[in-house]
Structure 1
Amino acid sequence: MNRNFITAFFICLFISITYSQEYKIKGLVIDNDQKPIALVNVLLLSGGGDFIKGTTTDEEGIYEFVVFKKEKYKIVASYIGNTVESEIIQLSTDIEINPLIIQNAQELDEVVVTQKKPVLKQLADRHIFNIENTSLSDSDIWDVLKRTPGVMVMNNRLYINGSPNVNVMINGKLVNLPEEDIINLLTGSSASNVQSIEVITSPPAKYSAEGGLLIDIKMKKNLVAGYNGAVFNRYTQGVLPKHTIGTDHFFKGKKIDFSANYSFSHNRNWSRFTDITSFFENGQKSEVWTSEQKLINKEKSHNINLFLDLQLNDKNTISLSSTSSLLPNGTGNNFASTDINTINGDLTAQLNGHNELKNDNYNSSNYLDWVHKLNDKGAELSTNVHYTYYDSKRKQVLNNNIVQGFTDNTSENTLRVWSDQIINLFSAQTDLTLPLSKQSIMETGLRVATINSQASITQSGFNDSVDGFNPTDSGLFKYDEQIYAGYLTLNSNWEDWKLNLGLRSEYTDTKGDLNISTALNTNSYLDFFPNMALSYTSNKNAYYLKYFRRITRPRYSTINPFQFYLSANSIYEGNPNLKPAYSDDIQFDYVYDRDYKVVLFATKKSNEQVQQITQDNATNILSTQVINLETNYFYGVDVSVSKELTDYWYLYFLVSHYRDKDSFTDLSTNTIQENSIWTTLIRANNYFTLLKDKSLYADITFIYFSPYIYGNATFDSNSKLGVSLRKTFWNKDASISLGVEDIFNTGNTISTRDYLEQSTIVNTRSENRLLVFGFRYKFGNTKIRDNSKRKSTDEGKRL
C-alpha cells in the first residue's frame, strides 16, 4: 500500500433535541480596556436581593449559572474591592447578559491564593481531578496518581477501569517512555506544579489510537506577573531511604509564560520474592524448586521540565516544551538461593546466584507547537512537531554456583551480558478547528510518525550443554515503524445534550531486521477507530454514553528477539512475532446531583499483550515472555460518591465489581486455557481541612482488592491504608508534610499459576510501608498584586 496515505473517510451524524427543564445565565466580566478578568467573585441573587448561589469567572472572564425557575434575578460581581451589579433579569429562556465592567480604580497590596479541597468534575469523555493548591501539592506526581479517582496503581502499573493499557500525557503531549521510566519521571516531579489530572475515559479521535485510556497531567501556568519560584525536599524511609530535592521557577510577562523545574532523586529500592515451582514428570509432580530472592536497586536520576509559551501577536502563539530524564550509573543486585527438593521434601541440590546489573538511561522528549487563529469565531490552525530520543545501556554479570548436590539442568558459570537500545521517535501533526455553528465545532487533522529502534546484545560465559536455552552470542536488531493517520470529529451542544463523534484512520508499516537472520519480519495494516461520547443533563440528573476503539502496538523492548538469563533456571526472551492488540470499549454513566455516580462498562480485547511466566518441565527452566492472549472480556459496574460532607471533609468512595476473563494458549500443549474471576475493589479517599486558619490538611486513603487475575496468573486479595498530614506556615509560603503509606504492611501480593502441568506460587514483598517527610518553600512574587490575571482571547468574545 502506498505510504503517502491520506485518510478521507467520515460519517457525520447530527441530532437536534430541544427539550429542556434548565435555564442558563451566562455573562462576561471585563475591565475598562475591554479585557476579560479571571477569578472574579460572581453572585446570583433573586429579584428581591436574596442570595441563591455563587461562582468565579474562568480564565476568559466567563461565568455561568444554571437555574430551574422562570423568575427575576440579579448578578453581582466583585473583584479587589470593586463591585458592579446587573439590571434585574426576567428569565424566560437561556440568556447571555451584557458584559459587566469592573473599574481599574483600586488594587490591593496583595491577594493570597488560599488552599482548597480537591474537586472532581465530570465531563462527557473524561473526569477532571483538580488538585492545585490542595493538600496533595507536596507529593510527587506518582503519589498523586495513586490518589486520583478512577486511577489504580498495582505492582507499579497504572490501571483505569481495571485495564492496564494506560498512556500518560503531560499538557496533552504523550510521554514516550517505558513503564519503569515513566515511574522514575513522575516520582521525581513535584505535584506542586500540577493543576489537575484528567482521566480520559473516551479518548477523542484527535489523539493517537495507540494504547488504552489516557491520563493527561495538566501543569499549571503562572497566575502572577513577574518571577516566583520554590525549593522542595522529600525524604522517604522504607527498608532503604529515598530522597528527592528540587526547585521550580516561573516567569510571567505580558506575552511570555515560562517555567523550569529540576529535581534530583536518589532512590534505593528493596524487594523480596519467594518462588515455589513444582515441576512435572510423566504427568506427576517430581521436584519442587524454592527460590528466595532479594533485589536491591540503587539509582540517581535527574529530571528537567521546561515550558515556554510565547504570544507573537493576537493571532499567533508558539509553545516549546521539553521533558528530559537522566539516570546514570544505576545498579541492581539480585541475590538468589534455590533449594531443589523431591516431592517428599528431601533436599537434592542447592544453588546460589548473584545477578549484578548496571545501567545508564537517558531520555529527552521535545515539542514545538504553533497555533494560528483564523478568525474571531474560534477557527484555528495548529501544528505540533515532536522528537524523542531514548538510550538504555545495560551490563549484567550473573554468577551461578552449585552449593550442594547436582542437577543436569544447571552449571557453575559466570555469564556476562551487554545490551543497548536506542530509540528515535519523530511525529508531526496538523489540526484544523472550524466552528460550524453556535452549537457545533468540527476538528480534522493529519499525523505522521516514524519510529526507529536499534537493539544490540553480546553474551558470553554460558554453558551450551544446558537444554532449553539458546542464547544469542551477539546480535543487532533494527526495527522501523511508520504510522500515517487522519481524523475528523464533530462536537455539538444543544441545551442539555452534548455529542462528540469522531473517526480516526491509521495505516501502519513495520519492518524488523535481525542481522543474524536472512528473513525480514514485515507487517502492514490499515485500521479505523471510531469514538462517541453522548451526554444529557436534566435537573440534577446526568447521563453519559461512551464508545471507542483502540490499538496497542508491541513495545520496542518486547520484540527484540534475544534470550538471556535472569537466574540459574530463569530466562527472558523477546517475541518478534507479537501482534497489535485491539480493544472495543462501551460505557454508560449515570450521575445524580454531580456527587453520586453509577457506571456500567464492558470491554472486549483481542491479542492483548501480557507478560507471562511458563515452566518447561523437561528442562526445569522458567521462561518470561510477552505474549498475545486469545481474547479478554472485561465487564462490571462502579458505584461512587464524591461529596463535600462538611466544610472540612471531602470524600471520594468507590465500589467496583467486575468480571475479568482471559483466554490464552498453553505453550507446552498448544491448547487454549481460560482464567476468569469476579473481582471487587473498594476505595475511600478522605480529605480534611483543619484548624481555624485552614492551614492543616489530612488525607486518609484505603484500598482493598479481592482476588484478581492477570493473564495466566491469579493474585490473592490485598489492601492498603495510608495517612498524610500537611501544615502550612509563614503566610502559606512554606509547608511541611508527613505521611505513612500502607500502615499495616498488607499491600504485598501473592500470585499463583495452577493449570495443566504449570504450578508456581510467587510471594512478592516490596517496600509498601513508607514514612514520607517533605518540605517546600515558595519565594519571589507569590501574591497577586494587580489585575494581571487576564487573557484576551477571541474565543471569549464568541462565548
Structure 2
Amino acid sequence: MSKLITSFFLTSSFFVYGQKSIDDSIIIEKQIQEVEVVGKRKLIERKIDRLVFNVENSITAIGGDALDALRTTPGVRIQNDQISMVGKSGMSVMIDDRMILLTGDDLVNFLRTIKSDNIKSIEVITSPPAKYDAEGNSGIINIKLKKAKEDSWSNTIRTTAKQATYSSFSAGNNFTYQKNKLDILLDVSASKDQNIYTNDINYFYPTERWINGIYNKSDADRLSGIFNIKYNASKTFDIGFQYLGNSGILNKGEESTAKIFDLKNLELNRTLNAIGSTRNKSSNHSFNLNMVKKLDTLGKKLTVDLDYFTFKSNKDNSLNSENFDRATNNILLENIDNKNVQKINNFSAKADFEMPFSWANLSFGGKVSFTETNNNIDIYRYNTSVVPPSLIFGQSDEFTYNENIQALYMSANRKFGDRWEVKVGLRAESTQNEGYSENVNQTNTNNYIKLFPTLYLSFVPDHENTLVVSYGRRVNRPSYSNLNPARWYLTANSYEEGNPFLQPSFTSNLELSHSFKDLLTTTISVSRTTDGFGQLTTHDLENNFQSFIRRNYYDYTNFLWSEYINYNIFPWWNTSAEASVYYTETKAYSPYLNPKYSGWGGYFSNSNNFTLNKKKTFSAQLTYEYNYPTIFNENRSEAYSNLGIGLKLLYFEKQLQIAVTANNILGSDRVKTSNITQGINQSFRQYYDTQFVRLSLSYKFGNKNLSIGKKATGNEEEKSRTN
C-alpha cells in the first residue's frame, strides 16, 4: 500500500508543481483567429451529468483515430485494446448520441476508422440519467463528431496484421455519403483471429495437491457490417434505418493436464489428460427504425425507435480424457460430447420527449421490451475403456426463458444563476420473466417493479473550478445463458452450470468530482451492490470434480479515489496520467466462504504522445499501466503491468496512415488470482495472448471531413446479456 501511495503522490507532484505556462506555446501569429476561437472552450468541461473532453483542442486530434483520443480521455481505460471505465463493470459507446452495437475487436476496429481530426468532443457519462436503461453498473462514452460537409462523400480502406503467438488479420471498408437530404453509412469488415489462452491451476485438497494446466488455441473467422441511412424529410422530421450484423465461426483446440500428488510424501498418484475441440457458429442481426419530430423551434422534439434483434449460436464440443492411476496401473478412457443451440429474439419500442421550458428542461418517455430465448443442450459422458462404451452420464434439456420489461421515466434540470444547477430523474421498470426447464420439469417466475432515481448537483465557484455530486441506482440482470440449468463440461474433471434461480443485483452509486482548469480531475465515489452474483467454485471431494455455478452470494461496497492529469510538457510532448486507489468490502452469505473480505487496491496508467516533426506527420506513443494487488469478493489478485509503444506515419496529406504498435513488451500482463472455497486453497494464473506486434494501414479518400452519426437502438440491455 505504501508503494501505491508513494507512486501516486510522486506522479501528482510532478505534474502539478512541475507544470509550465502553456499560454506562449499556443500562440501562432499566422493563425491568431483560429487560436482565439479554440481558446473559448476548455479542454475538459464538467457538465452536470457528464464530463466533456474537447478533442479538437487536444494534441491527440492531430493525425490519430478515435482510439487514440480515448486513451487520453479522463475516466476511460484502454487495456489490450479493450475499452472500459474506471470504477465500472462495463460501458457502452455512442456516436452523436446513437449507440454502437459492437463489442470487443469489432468495436475497436470500427473506432479506428474515425479520425480524431473529425471528433469534436468525447463525453464520459459515469452515472447515466433516467433516459437510459437502468441495466448494468456501467457508463456511457459518447463521441461527438464535427459537423459534416454538405454534398460530400468519403471512403476509408483499412487492414491490420497482428503477430502474437500466432498471426491474425483483418480488413474493412468504411463509406459515408451525404447528398441533399440523404445520409448513408456503410461499413464492412472481415477478420481471421488466432489466439491462445493458458491457465495454470493449483488445488490444495486435504490429502492431495492438483496441478492443472490448460492450453487453448482458438481460430475465429468473422464478418460484420453496418448500414445506416437517414432521410431529412422536412425541416421538422427525420427518419432513419439501421442494420448491424455479425456472423462467425470459432474453432478451438483444447488441451488440459492434471497431475495429482499425495500431500504427505509428494508422490504422483494419478494423471488426468484431456484433448478436446469446440466449434461454435454464431450470428446476430439488429434492425432499427427511428424517427425524430421537432415540435417547435425552441427545442421540443419527439424521438421514436423500433428495434428487432435476433441471435443464434450452434456450439459443439467433444472431449476425450485419459485417467491413469499409478497405484493400480488402471486407465479409464472417457468421451464427453456437449451440444448447445441457443436462439434469442427481442423486440423493443421506445419514445422520448424533450421539452425545454423557461423554468426547467423536461424529458420523459417510455419503453417496452419482449424477449424470447430457447436453449437445447445435449450432454453425454461415456466410458470408452470398455466395448461397447457405457453411458456414465446423460442429460438432454430444453430451456426456455421469456422476459418482458416496461419502463417509464422523467427528468428535469434547472440552473439557479451562473453557479448552481440541479438535475433530478426517476425511472420505473416493471419486469416479468419465466424460465422453464424440460429436464427437471420446473418453471420459475419472477415479477417485480423497481424505481431508479438519479440526482445531480453542480456548483461552479469560478471559471477554473467545477464541483459535481451525483447519485444513481442501477440493476444488473443475469445473462440468458447464466439462467440455463444444463451442465457444460470445461475439462474432464470440471464443468459449469447455469442457475434458473439467479436474481438481479442492485447497485447504488454516489460520486463527487472536481475539475481544475484543463489540468486536474478528481473523483471520489462509493458504490454499494446488494444480491451480487458471480461464478462460485465448489468441489466434489468424493468424485474429484470442480463445478463453476453462478449464485447470488454477496453484498459489495467499493470506495474509490481517482486522479487524472493532462499536460503539455512541451509543444511536441503531451502526457496524461491516471491513478486510482480503492478499498473494497464484501459480505458473503455462502457456506463455502468466509463471511467477510476486505482490502486495498490501485491502478496507475501513463500515456505519452510525441510529435516528431514539424509537419506533424510522424508521431510516437509510450504507454504504461500497473495494476496493484487487490481483493474483489473472495478473490485476491496479484500485481500485473503492461508496457506498450507505437509509431505512426502519415502520407499524402494525411490520407494514408501507417501505424506499428507493440503491446505487453515485458510479458508482465499475466493475471494471477487465488481464493479459498470450502476450505480449499486454489490459485489461477491466466494469460490471454496479449504480447503482440501489430501493423495497421488505412487510406482515406473523398471528403475527409465527412461524418455521419450512428443511431441508438432500444434493446441495448437485451443484446448485452447474450454474452
TM range (shorter): 0.7 to 0.9
Deviation at 1:451, TM superposition (A): 1.0
Give the counterpart of 2:445 among 507, 512, 522. 522
Q: CA deviation at 1:708?
A: 1.6
User: How many Å separate the matches in 2 of 1:639 and 1:187?
Assistant: 26
Shift of 1:429: 0.6
Paired residues of 1:222 and 1:250 also in contact (CA < 8 A): no
Superposed, 1:312-351 pairs within 5 Å as 312-328=233-249, 330-343=250-263, 344-351=265-272
Counterpart amino acid of residue 210 in structure 1: E
Whether the 8 Å CA contact 2:74–2:521 is kept in 1: the answer is no
Would you say the 8 A contact 2:44–2:518 is kept in 1?
no
Q: CA deviation at 1:755?
A: 5.5
| One-letter amino acid of the counterpart of residue 619, structure 1 | N
Q: Distance in 2 between matches of 1:487 and 1:209?
A: 10
2:401 is aligned with 1:479: yes
The equivalent of 2:459 in structure 1 is: 536
Distance across 2 between alignment mates of 1:146 and 1:557: 33
In structure 2, the residue matched to 1:104 is none
2:363 to 440, 443, 447: 443
Correspondence for 2:472: 548
Identity %, equivalent residues: 24
Per-residue Cα deviation, 1:466-519 (whole angstroms, up to 9, x for no partner): xxx996621111101111110001022342323221110000001001123333
Deviation string 1:510-540 (CA, Å, 9 cap, x unpaired) is 1001123333100000100010122122231
- Residues 453-464 of structure 1: matches in 2 within 5 Å? 453-462=373-382
Cα offsets for 1:287-333 (capped at 9, x unmatched) = 111111111010011111122221100000112222211113x1011
Deviation (angstroms), 1:544: 0.7
1:431 is aligned, of 346, 349, 352, to 352
Please say which of residues 689-698 and 143-152 is displaced more in the overlay.
143-152
Looking at structure 2, the residues matched to 65 and 199 of structure 1 have their Cα atoms a distance apart, in angstroms, of: 17
Q: Which residue of 2 aligns with 1:301?
A: 222
User: Any conservation in 2 of the 1:339–1:349 contact (CA below 8 Å)?
Assistant: yes
Question: Is 1:497 the equivalent of 2:497?
Answer: no
2:37 to 52, 55, 74: 55
Given candidates 641, 645, 670, the residue that maps to 2:565 is 641
- Find the counterpart in structure 2 of residue 622 from structure 1: 546
Q: Which residue number in structure 1 is paired with residue 641 of structure 2?
A: 719
Aligned partners of 2:463, 2:65: CA distance in 1, in Å? 38
Say which one has the larger Rg.
Answer: 1
Match of 1:99 in 2: none
Equivalent residues of 2:335, 2:384 under 8 A apart: no
Give 1:388 deviation, angstroms: 1.1
Whole-Å separation in 2 of the counterparts to 1:146 and 1:571 = 38
| Distance in 2 separating the partners of 1:189 and 1:415 | 39
Q: Give SS of 2:481's match.
A: helix
Aligned to 1:110: none
- Greater alpha carbon shift after TM alignment, 737-746 vs 645-654: 645-654
Whether contact under 8 Å (2:63, 2:650) holds in the other structure is no
What is the aligned partner in structure 1 of residue 5 from structure 2? none
Which one-letter code corresponds to 1:152 in the other structure? R
Distance 1:476 1:410, change over 3 A: farther
Q: Figure out how many residues of one structure are paired with residues of the other and give that number.
A: 665
> 1:124: how far off?
2.5
Matched, 1:574 2:498: yes
Query: 1:525-576 CA deviation, whole Å, 9 max, x = no partner?
Result: 0100010122122231110111100001111011111112111211111111
Instruction: Give the structure with the higher percent helix.
Output: 2
> Hey, what does 1:77 align to over in structure 2?
none
* Change beyond 3 A, Cα 1:154–1:646: closer
Aligned match of 2:168: 242
Q: Which residue identity is paired with 1:313?
A: S
Rounded to whole Å, the distance in 2 between the matches of 1:515 and 1:169 is 40
Q: Quick one: distance in 1 between partners of 2:204 and 2:112?
A: 46
SS in 1 for 2:595: strand
- Specify the alignment match of 2:14 in structure 1: none
The 5-angstrom pairing of residues 25-424 of structure 1 reads: 54-55=36-37, 120-129=44-53, 148-152=73-77, 159-169=84-94, 172=97, 182-193=103-114, 195=119, 197-216=122-141, 218=143, 220=145, 222-223=148-149, 225-279=151-205, 285-328=206-249, 330-343=250-263, 344-405=265-326, 411-424=332-345
Distance 1:327 1:141, change over 3 A: farther
Equivalent residues of 1:590, 1:599 under 8 A apart: yes
1:781 equivalenced with 2:707 (yes/no): no
2:23 corresponds in structure 1 to none
Residue identity opposite 2:37 in structure 1: T
| Alpha-carbon shift at residue 633 of structure 1 (Å) | 0.5
User: Residues 35-71 of structure 1, C-alpha deviation per residue, up to 9 Å, x if partnerless?
Assistant: xxxxxxxx9x9xxxx9997125xxxxxx9679xxxxx
Asked whether the equivalents of residues 140 and 186 of structure 1 are also in contact (C-alpha less than 8 Å), the reply is no
Runs of 5+ consecutive residues of structure 1 not aligned to the other structure: 1-42, 57-62, 67-118, 280-284, 790-799
Determine the C-alpha separation between the residues in 2 that align with 1:554 and 1:783. Answer: 42
**Equivalent AA in structure 2 for residue 565 of structure 1:** Y
Task: Specify the alignment match of 1:679 in structure 2.
Answer: 601
Structure 1 residue 225: Cα displacement: 2.9
SS at match of 2:624: strand
Q: For the Cα contact (< 8 Å) 1:401–1:413, is it kept in 2?
A: yes
Secondary structure of 2:107's match? helix
How far, CA to CA, are the matches of 2:393 and 2:585 in structure 1? 34
| Alignment match of 1:609 (pick from 533, 555, 567) | 533
- 1:3-62 alpha-carbon deviations (Å, 9 max, x no partner): xxxxxxxxxxxxxxxxxxxxxxxxxxxxxxxxxxxxxxxx9x9xxxx9997125xxxxxx
Q: How does 1:755-766 map to 2 (within 5 A)?
A: 757-766=679-688
Taking only aligned residues, the RMSD between alpha carbons, in angstroms, comes to 3.1
Offset at residue 400 of structure 1 (A): 0.7
Q: Do 1:310 and 1:317's aligned partners in 2 also have CA atoms closer than 8 Å?
A: yes
Contact 2:437 2:443 (8 Å CA) reproduced: yes
Q: CA deviation at 1:123?
A: 2.8
Give CA-to-partner distance per residue, 1:62-93, whole Å, 9 cap, x none: x9679xxxxxxxxxxxxxxxxxxxxxxxxxxx
Measured after TM superposition, the shift of residue 416 of structure 1 is: 1.0
Structure 2 CA distance for partners of 1:394 and 1:138, relative to 1, 3 Å: farther
Report the alpha carbon displacement of residue 148 of structure 1 after superposing the two structures with TM.
Answer: 4.9
Indicate conservation of the 8 Å contact 1:227/1:250, yes or no.
Answer: yes
What TM-score comes out, normalization by structure 2 length? Answer: 0.86
Checking the alignment, whether the CA contact within 8 Å between 2:148 and 2:705 is kept in structure 1 is no
TM-score by length of 1: 0.78
Rounded Cα–Cα distance in structure 2 between residues aligned with 1:408 and 1:130: 70
**Unpaired runs of at least 5, structure 2:** 1-26, 386-390, 709-723
Using a 3 Å threshold, how does the CA distance of structure 1 residues 379 and 224 change in structure 2: closer, same or farther? Answer: closer
SS in 1 for 2:666: coil
Instruction: After TM superposition, give the deviation of residue 248 of structure 1 in Å.
Output: 0.8
Deviations 1:623-660 (A, max 9, x none): 11222232000002112212333322222211111101
CA contact (8 A) 1:477 1:512 kept: yes
Residue 594 (structure 1) shift: 3.0
**Is the partner of 1:473 in helix, strand or coil?**
strand
C-alpha distance in 1 between matches for 2:380 and 2:34: 77
How far off its partner does 1:667 sit? 4.7
Q: Which amino acid aligns with 2:307?
A: H
Q: SS of 1:185's equivalent?
A: helix
Give the aligned partner of residue 489 of structure 2. 565
Stretch moving more, 544-553 or 399-408: 399-408
Secondary structure of 1:608's aligned partner: strand
Distance, in Å, in 1 between the alignment partners of 2:556 and 2:329 is 39
Q: Which residue of 2 aligns with 1:33?
A: none
In structure 2, relative to structure 1, the CA distance for the partners of 1:698 and 1:568 (3 Å cut) is same
Q: Are the aligned partners of 2:59 and 2:574 in contact in 1 as well (CA < 8 Å)?
A: no
**Aligned 8 A contact 2:382 2:392 in 1:** no
Q: 1:629 to 1:120 in 2, by over 3 A?
A: farther
Contact 1:472/1:564 (<8 A) preserved: no
Q: Secondary structure at the match of 2:113?
A: helix
Deviation at 1:687, TM superposition (A): 2.0
- Greater Cα shift, 585-594 or 195-204: 195-204
For the Cα contact (< 8 Å) 1:714–1:751, is it kept in 2?
yes
Could you tell me how far apart the structure 1 residues matched to 2:333 and 2:51 are?
Answer: 56
Change (3 A) 1:722 1:223: farther
